[in-house]
Structure 1
Amino acid sequence: MSLDSAVRAHAAHAAEPQLGRTIVSIQLLRFVAALAVVLYHAHLTFARDAAGHPWLLSYLFDAGASGVHVFFCISGFVMVYTSYCRDAGRFSASDFLVKRLLRIYPIYWLVAAAYLAFHAIVPGLGYHLSAGELAGALLLTPDDASLVIGPAWTLAFEMYFYLCFCLFMTLGLRTGLLAMTGFFLLCVASSVLLPGAPIAPLIRNPLLLEFVAGAWVGYVAIERPAWLARPARALLLLALVGFAATLLTGPERAPTLIAWGAPSVLLLAGAVGYEAGGRFPRRLGRYAYLGDGSYFLYLSHILLIDMVLLTPLSLLRGTTGGIVALTIVTTVAAVLIAVLAFDHVERPMLRLLRQHLLARRRAAPLP
């Protein structure tokens, strides 16, 4: 190959849509999704039983519940992208499960312990759980996951998706995704075709299709990023239209999968495509660290809201302006705590656990 040909080939490759190991848009979407959920829960709690509170304001804050659907789509994307992007190496089911368990459980148990301690100390707020229910909550079983940390019901979906993903990816990425998609579709369809069948509700829940949709976006981001980069603006516009249409018509008018799920998938695809095409504003990269603390933020914010209710700040709940101010102040405080907790608690703990586990696995004798 001549020098000119090599230069042209390099320039053409550089101009192709591509993504790095860390995707800034995903980090920001994780933060925005968690922030929306916090605003929703904070306003819902502070505005409860408030006389004369504007219904429109409550309606707008309630839209923050859509953050859960964005989370599910992101989770599917991240599982595929981190497992199969160019420098990820060969997929290992055992490594995948170990990494996921370390990512989910240790910090969850730590935050759950804080909830249990707080509710044990404050009169009238104690949990009344049997040993089985407490164990189920700590293990994130579908029926008990929300008994200690309310929003942890979503983690039961996460764990189920991780197990299915790990199983189906033994078939390879494309074949595994096709098989997993077919399996989830059959499970969801069984709720209509076999309504009385003894199948766990989680397995038949349409929310699982949001994980699958995000996983397919991850597949396209790896194999054909140009397919996301070229229509990125149109995808983002459709996402905004979808969210706006749900707000205008009411989320109860359509199944949740369509009302919030479809716009969430479009938002994910558009954001990733925008970054793949090199159009993502670089200055936003400085805020990517906010996504790191999104998991702690999601887990801990209800505890902070409960604490605020016990302080003189709760007196602000008497007026609409006070409720909004209390919602915003609590949300900002939750974000700051989450960022600090990730830097000084979550990240060091994960590093130590991974190092310890890797050392033990390396020291283990070969069979």
Structure 2
Amino acid sequence: MPWKAAFPSHLPHFRRNHGAVRGRSSALSGRRTDARLRNREDLHSGQRSGPPPGNQTCPDEHLLQMSTQGKKLAWIQALRGIAALMVVMVHDRGALVGDGGAGRMVANALLPMAMGVDLFFLISGFLMVLTTRDFDGSKAYAWAFTAKRIARIWPLYAIVTLLAIAVDHHGLHGFADRSVLLPYLEGLAFIPHNPAASGLYFQMAVGVAWTLCFECYFYLVFALCMLFGRWRYGVMAGWFALTLIAIPVLRGGYHLGVASQPLVEWSRYANLAINPIVWEFVFGMLAGWLYLSQFTIKRNVMIYSSVVLLTATLLIGWHRIGMVNFFGPAGWGAPLTILFLGAVMLAKNGAMRVPAGLVWLGEASYSLYLVHVYVFVLAQRVMMPIPMGADSFRAMLFVARPVLAVMGAWLVFRYVEAPASAWVRKCLLQMTHRRHAQRSLPAWAGPESSARRISDGP
């Protein structure tokens, strides 16, 4: 067959496309050559090498696209899912507390699941280091980071707060009473309502929001330190040394008990800064630096697995004898940090494999954390009329509530959290991208690159 007959009508099109591809390849090659030349010039002049600042984009922790291969950090998503499910189960154990025999044994065995909170804090510190590793020192980057933290946490929490007012105060009546509204409004600003309350829970109007107070405090410190550019980690180290070591020592003693710190009377928010549970964010940051560093150990899955299993065994044993029974570095936090470091090294060496179901659960972990209590309440009210004995009813609640919470959380994530966060994020970035873009980029980047960079921030 003559060669023209093989593709008589496609050849001109093929030639045009082939020419276009070659043209694009040549242009791309030219840009890469220019970039290499700029990098060499930068090295000789002592400036920062690498791509031009305008081409850097701030990574997005919510999408988790910051692994060394450019893939999602599936193992981190899985850990978030595990952490959220642990919190769900420690709250679900309340269905069995009033039971006798086996039910009470199961409830007691589930108490250590509260360490899901410690795991959340470790993950937060880790991700803040990872997702800002391309930080260029600009205020625009710092604002984009802050805007995305707000968009990640606040919209769904505000919606859940409105739901809590309606549920706790029987409809719309709670919105008319200022004394009722005040704790909820303080909660929206992540201000501890009552730091003197027993335990560590601050008597927040939305019960689980006490952890968000610590999260947002850490994000605030991290964002402010970013304004110091390349000195940000030095400033951060100084701040944590001051608040977690120097001030507690000067106030009369230093210890790691998270629920027994001397109260700061003049500022409720200051009680967050001096609480030793903040160390867990610091430990997470150290894990992030380890993950990004050149440090590695010869790949041996058995070594890492043995360390993880040994630490898990010790953690269970320490809890059984009462040595480890609460949050913080003096409780579940210390052994959990060792477990987390083991997971980090496994992931760094490519030896981490996670089930897709846990990754799926991790995406909805924030929704699960916030809404599961209200799903529990709704499930109990719906199942209350079912005729059965008290023990059977408790067992049914114990099994059904976590399943319903996971289902409800995924719906909330899909139809409430994700759209609301995306909308708030877009609004916050659009409010300031024109003001920051030209100020933080060189003239050659152009207005289009400026707008795109701010829109695609951290």
Q: Which TM-score tier does this pair reach, normalised by the shorter chain?
A: 0.7 to 0.9
Q: Read off the aligned partner of 1:277 and give its amino acid letter.
A: N
Alignment pair present for 1:98 and 2:147: yes
* Unaligned residue ranges in structure 1 (runs of 5+): 1-16
Q: 1:241 to 1:205 in 2, by over 3 A?
A: same
Task: Check conservation: 2:319, 2:325, Cα contact below 8 A.
Answer: no
Task: Check conservation: 1:78, 1:218, Cα contact below 8 A.
Answer: yes
Name the counterpart of 1:233.
305
Alignment pair present for 1:149 and 2:199: no
- Quick check: 105-114 or 286-295, which moved more? 286-295
Alignment pair present for 1:187 and 2:187: no
Counterpart-to-counterpart distance in 2, 1:184 and 1:79: 16
Task: Check conservation: 2:79, 2:362, Cα contact below 8 A.
Answer: yes
The number of aligned residues is 345
Q: 1:226 to 1:286 in 2, by over 3 A?
A: farther
Match of 1:138 among 175, 188, 210: 188
Counterpart-to-counterpart distance in 2, 1:229 and 1:212: 26
Q: Read off the aligned partner of 1:361 and give its amino acid letter.
A: T
Counterpart-to-counterpart distance in 2, 1:148 and 1:264: 29
Counterpart-to-counterpart distance in 2, 1:317 and 1:83: 55
Counterpart-to-counterpart distance in 2, 1:356 and 1:176: 27
Match of 2:113 among 59, 64, 67: 64
Counterpart-to-counterpart distance in 2, 1:272 and 1:136: 36
Quote the sequence identity (%): 29
Q: Read off the aligned partner of 1:333 and give its amino acid letter.
A: L
Name the counterpart of 2:319.
247
Task: Check conservation: 1:181, 1:212, Cα contact below 8 A.
Answer: no
TM-score norm. by structure 2 comes to 0.66
* Unaligned residue ranges in structure 2 (runs of 5+): 1-66, 195-201, 253-261, 440-458
Counterpart-to-counterpart distance in 1, 2:178 and 2:381: 21
2:72 is paired with a residue of what secondary structure? coil
Q: 1:123 to 1:169 in 2, by over 3 A?
A: closer
Shift of 1:192: 4.5
Task: Check conservation: 2:276, 2:329, Cα contact below 8 A.
Answer: yes
Shift of 1:21: 5.0
Match of 1:331 among 362, 381, 402: 402
Work out which of the two has the higher radius of gyration on C-alpha atoms and give 1 or 2: 2
Q: Which has the higher helix share?
A: 1
Q: Read off the aligned partner of 1:111 and give its amino acid letter.
A: V
Counterpart-to-counterpart distance in 2, 1:73 and 1:255: 12
Alignment pair present for 1:82 and 2:131: yes
Q: 1:314 to 1:160 in 2, by over 3 A?
A: farther
CA RMSD of aligned residues (A): 3.3
Map 1:253-292; keep pairs closer than 5 Å.
256-281=328-353, 284-285=355-356, 287-292=358-363
Name the counterpart of 2:368.
297
Shift of 1:354: 2.6
Counterpart-to-counterpart distance in 2, 1:124 and 1:52: 42
Counterpart-to-counterpart distance in 2, 1:229 and 1:324: 45
Shift of 1:253: 6.6
Counterpart-to-counterpart distance in 1, 2:235 and 2:193: 27
Shift of 1:178: 4.8
Q: 1:253 to 1:171 in 2, by over 3 A?
A: same
Shift of 1:301: 0.9
Counterpart-to-counterpart distance in 1, 2:419 and 2:390: 42
The one-character-per-residue Cα deviations of 1:189-219 (angstroms, maximum 9, x if unpaired) are 3334414775732221110000000011011
